[in-house]
Each structure stands twice: as C-alpha cells, then as structure tokens.
Structure 1
C-alpha cells in the first residue's frame, strides 16, 4: 500500500497550511504534492513559499502564482461583484509588492503539471496532477460536469486518476474504474464550512481509494491578520463566511 497527500490553493494562509502539513505528518504520509496557488488573499505569501521550499514539496504552477511570477495583468471576471473585483485587484497588487524576487523566481520555475506513476504489486497507477486542467490553469471544473469532460482529460493524460484544485470546492467523482478529484482549498475554501481541505490517495494492487480530509484551523486569527495587513478586509469577511460565493 502507498499513500500520497495532495493539496492546493493555500493563498498565503500559513496557519491553514501548517495544520494540513501537521495532519499529513501525523498520519505518517511522506509523499506530498501541491497543486499551486501559494499566494494572494492572506498575509503570508512569502512564508508559504518558504515552507513549500524548505519541505521540498513538489508543486505546480497555479494561475495566481503565474500572475505574480511574470507580472501578468489582472483580468476582471464576470462572476465577481464590483466589491470583489476591487478587492481582488488590491490583494494581487499587495502580492506584487510583497513577494520577494527570490520567491518570484521560484514560482516562475514551477512545472505546469506533474505526472506520477506508482507501482503496487503487479499494478502501475498513473496519477495526473494539474492546477485546473491539462491545457489551462484558468479552467473551472466542478463535480456536476459531464463525465465526458473528465473522461477526455483522463484519456489525454493516460491516467487512472486526475487531481485538480482551482475552484476551492472539493469532490471525488468515480468514472468507471477511474477518478476525477478536486482537493478543495487549504487556505480559502469556498465550501460552507470554510475548513482546510486536502486529499489522501491510498493505492493498492486492486484499487485507488481517495479520501477528502477537512480540518479546522485558527480562522479568526487569520481573518484578524488580514485586517491588520494591506490586504482588503473583504477576504477576512470571506473566511468568516460573511460574503456570498460566486461560482
């Protein structure tokens, strides 16, 4: 049996990341992977990057990482309210100014996706890690998508399991004998409970067993830290579940 832990979308929320990593370590899982979006919306972007680097956790490039690494423009999204649009611009500008040049260089060198192959007994398992899809890290895919959408991704990547983040909404969807899984978000969950979320995959010779883990963390401490920073208070209210989620 092999176990791997996969998490995504930390968004500068160091306390949430620390809770997730502690839980993974307590379970004795040594194989850890991150699906990107280390920065924006909470005050510890540099500290999150430093922890990922210090722990040698393989990580892929999220859309927020890419924007900060390459100084890309912010494109307004139609799903966002005017309030969120203004807050989003201000929060990303805060990251542009605060993320160190060394950490921007680290983000710029992250791979776009990672393909894993594990052997258990006589069986090989192919596991595809993406931020949101194989071709883009801006694609929003939810559990209600038609099976054909995920089947195509599984076929194109020649994988048994495809793991993604980006939407901040966790799910596990079995398609035949294969899986499409969203890890949810460590640091900025859009689920009602606002818990830090990650996925454990257990691999044995017969099957892959996914489990979504959701953990409490000191959310109010994070919210107050956001309010004390240069990041808009919108994101503190969001964590407290005082703001509506736009899918």
Structure 2
C-alpha cells in the first residue's frame, strides 16, 4: 500500500502548517504534495514559503500565489461583504509588500497542475492535482456541484481521482465508475465550522483508492494574536474565531 498526503491553502498560517507536517511525519508518510495558496491572511507568508522550499514539497500555483508573484490587481468579489472586501484588499496588499523578491520568484515558477501515476502491484493509478480546476486556479467547485462537472474533469484528465483545494471546504465524492473527486480542505483558513487544519491522505492498494480527510487542532489563539499584532486586518482573527458570518 502507498500513502500520499495532500494539503492546500495554508494562507500564511505557519502554526497550522507545522501541525499538519508533524502529523504527516508521525504517520510515516513520505509522499506529500501542496495544492497552493501559501500566502495571504496570516503573518507568516515568507516563513510558509521557506518551509515548503526546505522540504522540496511539490506545490501548485494557487490564485493567491499568482496574484502576489505577478502583482495582479485585486477586484471585489460579489460573494464578499463590504467588510471582507475592505479587509481582503488590505491583507493582499500586505503580502505584496512583505513577501520578499526571492520568494515571489519561487511562487512565479510553480506549476499550474500536476498529474501523478503510481503503480501498486499490477495496477496503475492516475491522480490529477489542481488548485481549483484544470483550466483555472480561481474556480469555486463545491460538493453540491452536479456529478457531471467532476466526471468531465476526470475524463479530460484521464484520471482515476482528482484532488482540489481553493474553497476551504473538504469533501469526498465517489461516482458509479468508481472514480473520485476530493477536496482536501484548507490547512490555514478553513471555512468549516470547526476551523481545524485539514488535509488528505490517499491510501493506494492494487484494488482501490481510499481517501481520508484528516482534521487537526493547532494553536489557533497564537495565530489570532499574531494577526492582531500585525498590519493584517483583525477581520481574519475574528474569522478564525468563527465570529464572522460565513458567506460562501
């Protein structure tokens, strides 16, 4: 059996990332991948990038990574409240100022998606990794999407399983053809009610793929305090405390 760890959407939250990495290490999992969005909304953007670099962890380019790497303008999103819109502009501007030049280059060179092939016994498993979809790193695909949306992605990628992040909401869907679409959730800015750090373990046997969502506690009060001490808006501290009204 092969075990693979996949995580996404750290968003500058180093304590949450360390909790996930420690859990992966304790489980003896050697294969790990990140689906992107290393930066924005917590004050350890550079440190998170350096940690990923130090581990040589393959990482995709999330929409926030792309925005910071190439100084892409920020536009309001209709799903956000006025308060979140204002906070988002300030937080992203903070990253643009404080992510150093070397780390911006690293972000700019990240791949858009990755296709993996693992051989277990006589069986080859094809696993497609994306930040949000095959054609965009900024498409919101939720569990409520029709099966056809995910089946089309699986067909286009010729994969047995597709893993995504971006929405910060984990889910697992298996279809009649035994193929899977899985969202691994968010390490550092979960939108799930428990706000725990989330990641995915894939167990590959010759007969089947078994996905398991892992959710971990971490010193969230430390993160809240550090956000309050930084130039990042307190909105994101309140978000982690689950004080905000969540709008998907």
TM-score normalised to the size of structure 2?
0.99
SS of residue in 2 equivalent to 1:66: helix
**CA separation in 2, counterparts of 1:68 and 1:7?**
20
What is the number of residues matched between the two proteins?
247
**CA separation in 2, counterparts of 1:17 and 1:93?**
22
**CA separation in 2, counterparts of 1:75 and 1:103?**
23
- Alignment correspondent of 1:188: 189
What are the within-5 Å matches in structure 2 for residues 120-199 of structure 1?
Answer: 120-176=120-176, 177-199=178-200
SS of residue in 2 equivalent to 1:91: helix
Q: CA deviation at 1:224?
A: 0.5
Q: Is 1:246 the equivalent of 2:227?
A: no
Q: Is 1:87 the equivalent of 2:87?
A: yes
SS of residue in 2 equivalent to 1:132: coil
**CA separation in 2, counterparts of 1:18 and 1:28?**
15
- Alignment correspondent of 2:230: 229
Q: Moved runs in structure 1, 4+ residues, more than 2 A?
A: none
SS of residue in 1 equivalent to 2:223: helix
SS of residue in 1 equivalent to 2:173: strand
Q: C-alpha deviations, 1:1-44, integer Å up to 9, x for none?
A: 10000000000000000000000000000000000000000000
- Alignment correspondent of 1:72: 72
- Alignment correspondent of 2:3: 3
**CA separation in 1, counterparts of 2:43 and 2:14?**
8
**CA separation in 2, counterparts of 1:46 and 1:95?**
9
Q: CA deviation at 1:168?
A: 0.1
Q: CA deviation at 1:160?
A: 0.3
Q: CA deviation at 1:139?
A: 0.5
TM-score normalised to the size of structure 1?
1.00
Two-structure CA RMSD over aligned residues (Å): 0.4
**CA separation in 2, counterparts of 1:32 and 1:244?**
33
Q: CA deviation at 1:54?
A: 0.1
